[in-house]
Amino acid sequence: MAEMERSESPRKGWLRAEGQPSLAEIFRTIPVTPNGSTMRRLAAFLGPGYLVAVGYMDPGNWATSLAGGAQFGYTLLSVALLSNFMAIILQSLCARLAIASRRDLAQACRDAFPRWASWPLWALAELAIIATDLAEVIGTAIGINLLFGVPLEIGVLITALDVFVILWLQNKGFRKIEAFIITMLGVIAVCFAIQIALADPDWGAVIRGFAPTTDIITNPNMLYIALGIIGATVMPHNLYLHSSIVQSRAYGSTLPEQRDALKLATLDSTFALCFALIINAAILVLAAATFNKAGQTTVQELGEAHKLLAPLVGATYAPALFAIALLCCGLNSTVTATMSGQIVMEGFLDIRLPAWLRRLITRSIAIVPAAAVTIFYGQEGTGKLLILSQVVLSFQLPFAIVPLVMFTASREKMGALVAPRWLTILAAIIAAVIIALNIKLLFDTATG
């Protein structure tokens, strides 16, 4: 019977057999009712996508969206929509890889490539984790500074305490971690909803902003910001993260059950990334309705945006809402960056460290440059350091995307769940576009 058809074990395409899963403490711990209603099964899969969505609204995305809205109004909303579509496709491939091969992306690289290739990939992935952590340190420190007036250099040091948040959440179980993330995302959404209501944007212009225009190509300044929005959208650590935490669901081993799991996991990530689009669009709309409308077209720094909000929207509590949203974003990134670091180390090297030790190591590496820059250069220096972290992430991105597209296009590795030809072609085009844009951003950054 089809229902009893066993899934293929596509092992002949791998150099090594599958090993112990990354994040073994959460592997297959969340039950899925195979005979339940569609809504009940979908509810069991909701969660991982929202952890992934955190990476699409980090301080780097905030900076590019603020700059785009301040300079060009609502025009670049179409670019935010396009970049979100790209992210949905790539994250769906992560779920496909996990469910079909029973490997996350880090494990797949380890098992598919010889060590002379997989070890450099591990080193680059670790560099991306450190860059992610660096952006998180800066964003959280700025949020603490704006909300409580704590000096930036002290705020940077305070971020080291987040290890206790991680330990507390991990002891509560993975569902509690997902609930924490979703709660923080809800707070962010409420903060921006209030700010946009205060800003009273031109909703007709907002709708028109989602339609592409040739001005994006013909205006060099607009093109540069557009490249920044797309280039900062897909983060390499999200690809490792999603392909691992999807396996926290205890779906069955038959092919029909795996197909069902793939469908529900893809719906989860799609819903979550649409939510991320709403947040990123809200940042751009807020900047357009306030800074661009008032002629403040040079706003780029988070601190500058915070300072200008109150007089422009006519509410003294608007800057506090902005700072609360930024701080929640930093707390969320704390959780996802820690898990991504564990996945990368365990997946590539099969080395398993306690979460608190792993977190202290990466956070210490990120805190040293962030503290040094804030002490000697202040907030302007942190802005430059934030840009540098995005450049590092851009450099690593091809080394995560290309293997993902390669693996999911291989029938030997994926078996019956190999990606359809049209999806592979679309993903390859998206990967080529993102890589080209990131190369251009790297070149532009290097040449000033």
CA angle (180 as vertex; 178, 185 as ends), nearest 5:
95
- Summarize the confidence of residues 433-447 as an average pLDDT: 74
Quick one: pLDDT band at residue 378, thresholds 50, 70, 90? Answer: low
**What rounded mean pLDDT belongs to the chain?**
84
E strand or H helix at 247, and its extent? none
Quick one: pLDDT band at residue 93, thresholds 50, 70, 90? Answer: very high
pLDDT at 276 over 70: yes
Burial of 31 (0-12, 13-18, 19+ CB in 10 A): exposed
For residues 5 and 254, the answer to whether their CB atoms sit within 8 Å is yes
Q: What is the dihedral of CA 135, 139, 140, 143, to 10 degrees?
A: 180
What is the dotted CATH code of the domain comprising 26-447? Answer: 1.20.1740.10
Residue 7 is predicted with a pLDDT of 43
Half-sphere exposure of 205 (CA within 13 A, CB side): 16
Residue 383 is predicted with a pLDDT of 64
Both tokens assigned to 93? 């491939």
**From 37-41, 69-73, 85-89, the region with the lowest mean pLDDT:** 37-41
* pLDDT higher at 198 or 165: 198
The structure's pTM equals: 0.88
High-pLDDT (> 70) share of the chain, %: 88
The phi and psi torsions of 121 (rounded to 5 degrees) equal -65, -40
Q: How many whole angstroms separate alpha carbon 309 and alpha carbon 23? A: 42
Which residue, 29, 57, 56, 62, is CA-closest to 44?
29
Residue 387 is predicted with a pLDDT of 64
Residue 3 is predicted with a pLDDT of 38
**Which positions ≥6 away from 417 have C-beta within 8 Å?**
7, 96, 99, 100, 255, 258, 259, 262
Q: How many whole angstroms separate alpha carbon 244 and alpha carbon 26? A: 10
Could you tell me how far CA 437 lies from the centroid of its own chain?
18
